[in-house]
Amino acid sequence: MSEWSYSDEELDQYFRDRSAREGNRPGEGASGDEEDGHGRPTTGFRGFFHRRIADPWAAQAAAVLSVLTGILAVGVLAGGTYVWTLTDDIPSTERLEDPTMQLATIAYTADGEELARYARQNRSWAPYDSISSHVTDALIATEDQRFYQHWGVDPQAIVAAVADILTGNFRGASTITQQLARNLYNEAVGRAVTIPRKVREMVTAVELERRYTKREILEMYLNTVSFGGNVYGIESAARTYFGRRAARLDPLQAATLVGMLRATTYYNPVRNPQHAKQRRNVVLRLMREQGAISAAYYRDHVDDPVRADYHSSRLSASLAPYFAEHVRTTLSDWATDEEYSDHPLHGRDIYGDGLRVYTTLDSKLQKLARASVEHNMTALQKVVGYQWSEPSPGLYSSSLEDYRSLTPGEDYEPFAHFWASNPEVLNDFIRQTTRYDTLRARGRGPKAAVDRLRDAPSFLDSLKAAKSRLGAGLVSLDPRNGHVKVWVGGRDFETEKYDKVGTARRQPGSTFKPFTYTAAIDNGYSPYDTLLDSTFTWKDAGADTTWSPQNYDGESSGEMLTLSQGLANSKNTITARLALDLNPQTVTTYARRMGIPDETLKAVPSIALGTSNVRLLDMAAGYSTLANGGLYNEPVAITRVEDRYGNVLWESSSSPREALSKRTAYTVVDMMRGVIDYGTGVRIRTQFDLGEYDLGGKTGTTDRAADTWFMLMHPELVSGSWVGFEDQRLTFRTGFWGQGAHTALFLVGDYYRRITESDTVSLANTSFPLVEGYGAPEDTTGSPNGGRVGW
């Protein structure tokens, strides 16, 4: 309050004192004007001023006030005219009443974890009630202590700032509302240090105060302010620096984030924790002075270190980066591709509309799967690196643990023998690099460019490491609805963008065989029908070509084996004879019906052995058709999309398609039990302690061990994995380690074992339905089930 201002009580007391001194009767003023019961004049303009001028102290105040009023009147007249000329530059009424801003689209896992953000500006909107009160307390104490007293512009703060400037101390006088005006309408208001810009800011602030409550202004401010980098808004800041929601920020964290607003880089709590602590303590002191925290709390915590941990919003930091990228590209296609012109999301800005995307991924399963991939691939990398280190390395073991303790560079030189034995392969890799292209563009010849790069040790080491790095993929689907529960598309999204689950197409080897056996069962074959396990030569008279399929180890028993035995032991000879009996076109038809896209399939006899390139995701979908009793579900990654207000824009409505009869599907599943019970996948039971679960599966290996696969079926979780090299000229060196049963199987087996040992997720001990309808032969020796399902 100014020293020339009076309260009602002070005026009452003044008139009572004057009346007592002058002996006036109550109700009668000195000038004869009428007074009210408090001695205040009710009529007579002259009497009102006369009483004040009669008092010397009041007369001085009136004189000064008159001068200031005159100056202010002239200033207001001139200033008002000037302000009027600037009104065309302030934001329109429509923009003031409906400010727009870019909000990140956020994808969530099925169990509510944040999966990824897609945005130009990493911002998500937090309602006022979802922001910790410690944040608003810290903000007001630091930026605008009279926030609830002013109307957008604070004259007291301006006067104080001017006084400070005159004494050599610069301080800001912008209110929170003025700062919000700059944040919301940067182009219209501007940030230049000029009087016109400041006036536009003030006028806009006043207009904002007219239209919004104080709570709404605080909410808008905290959701628009930048916290450095690509982090906008308190919700994004809380998640980025503290890994929690804005509603759960404690006073120390709130003070740290509010303190950042002065200089987001200098006070960054991750990069500059000491600076952040100093600034945080300033904010805490101001909060204490304003009563937002107690003196005891301040005293107990002022020496605490800043405990921040950066949580990047980049896709590479996601718990499922390849899946998150798949979701992003799907949304982008829906929004921009004319093929989806009728889709509810077509025309939407997925990077600025603040959509909420709900996916099928299970965060707990994903973490277990990633842990399995990392654990086993680190050891398998040592296996293959050691085996290629020398012409005759000393260690040949069938135990992965024997290789795990080896140290590359100390115990062996990874792939040294391979590079020495394959110089042209290395030269070809060099010719594929941008460094080579640059040298060629500068005039070097092909050989000179290669020789130059061969003499660059750091370049060569980096290239060798990248090309000799084993790749991996792992995916899990719920066969009952096609929901993707796990998606590990590679070992490192930062360096390996090529997705091994949803993009890469490789030969599946023997994991393709169940499609052949499905075609056979559905066309009248029995699991107990027999075929000869021996090599043979097939000749295509029309194309004058021949085909001589052999088993993986090059040997055959020469015996008649049942189809169940042939599948369980992955006999190429049995499967090849069966495919020729059926016709390769029949095999492709069933594979397509079960979930393998038609464009990837070639109807040739060798298709039965997995020579057509397929995606791991499609293989998992095909196996899910068997596990789901013949009903095919297209893999589903997104279940629902909402706008920023929670309105549902799109919801998944896919339904299963009948691909097979239930009888056929579960008959093949029962045959595939044999793979796990006594066949090539028996390590699932013996090594990974999964004996009590009802499982079916299949191993797969291609020529020269370029690709290794494993598929595992459970009634509620179907999973598949792939292990191999990007370039198929690199392979496992030994036959043992070049099999899917000893590589890809480890990823899935370890992953399922982690599930059974977990306290947060579980693998239901359920069984596939039993199959009736086949008469069991008297001798069921070699049957995977001993005839237990009614054959």
Q: Is the pLDDT of residue 775 over 90?
A: no
- At 170, the pLDDT band (50, 70, 90 cuts) reads low
406 pLDDT above the threshold of 90: yes
- Over range 157-162, report the average pLDDT: 72
For the CA atoms of the chain, what is the radius of gyration? Answer: 38
Model confidence pLDDT, tens digit, residues 76-106: 444 554 554 445 555 554 555 555 567 889 9
According to the model, what pLDDT value does residue 119 have? Answer: 80
The kind and range of the H/E element at 665 are helix 662-677
pLDDT at 461 over 80: yes
* Mean confidence (pLDDT) of the chain: 84
pLDDT band at 785 (very low <50, low <70, confident <90, very high): very low
Q: Which whole-number Å values give the CA distances from 361 to 39, 512, 622, 661, in the listed order?
A: 79, 26, 19, 29
CB neighbour list of residue 368: distance below 8 Å, 6 or more residues apart: 751, 754, 755, 758, 761
Q: Determine the Cα–Cα distance for residues 277 and 671; give it in Å rounded to an integer.
A: 65
Residue closest to 363 by CA, chosen among 317, 319, 318: 319
Least confident of 10-24, 49-63, 264-278: 49-63
H/E run at residue 473: strand 471-478
Burial group, residue 300, by CB count within 10 angstroms (0-12, 13-18, 19+)? exposed
- CA separation (Å) from 749 to 21, 355, 620, 732? 102, 37, 16, 20
Q: Give the predicted TM-score (pTM) of the model.
A: 0.74
Q: Is the pLDDT of residue 115 over 80?
A: yes
Least confident of 59-73, 217-231, 433-447, 755-769: 59-73
Around 155, how many Cα atoms within 13 Å sit in the side-chain half-sphere? 3
pLDDT at 104: 85
Higher pLDDT, 52 or 747: 747
Checking 557-560 for CB contacts under 8 A at 24+ apart, the result is 557/533, 558/532, 558/533, 558/534, 559/532, 559/533, 560/530, 560/531, 560/532, 560/533
User: pLDDT tens for residues 312-334?
Assistant: 667 778 899 999 999 999 999 99
**Contact (Cβ atoms closer than 8 angstroms) between residue 752 and residue 508:** no
CB neighbours of residue 592 within 10 Å:
17
In terms of Cα–Cα distance, which of 571, 555, 452 is closest to 510? Answer: 571
User: Does residue 631 surpass a pLDDT of 90?
Assistant: yes
pLDDT tens for 383-400 read: 999 999 999 998 889 899
Task: Judge whether 105 and 351 are in contact, CB under 8 Å.
Answer: yes
- And the tokens for 66? 């008159």
Return the DSSP state at 614: B
The pLDDT value recorded for residue 206 is 87
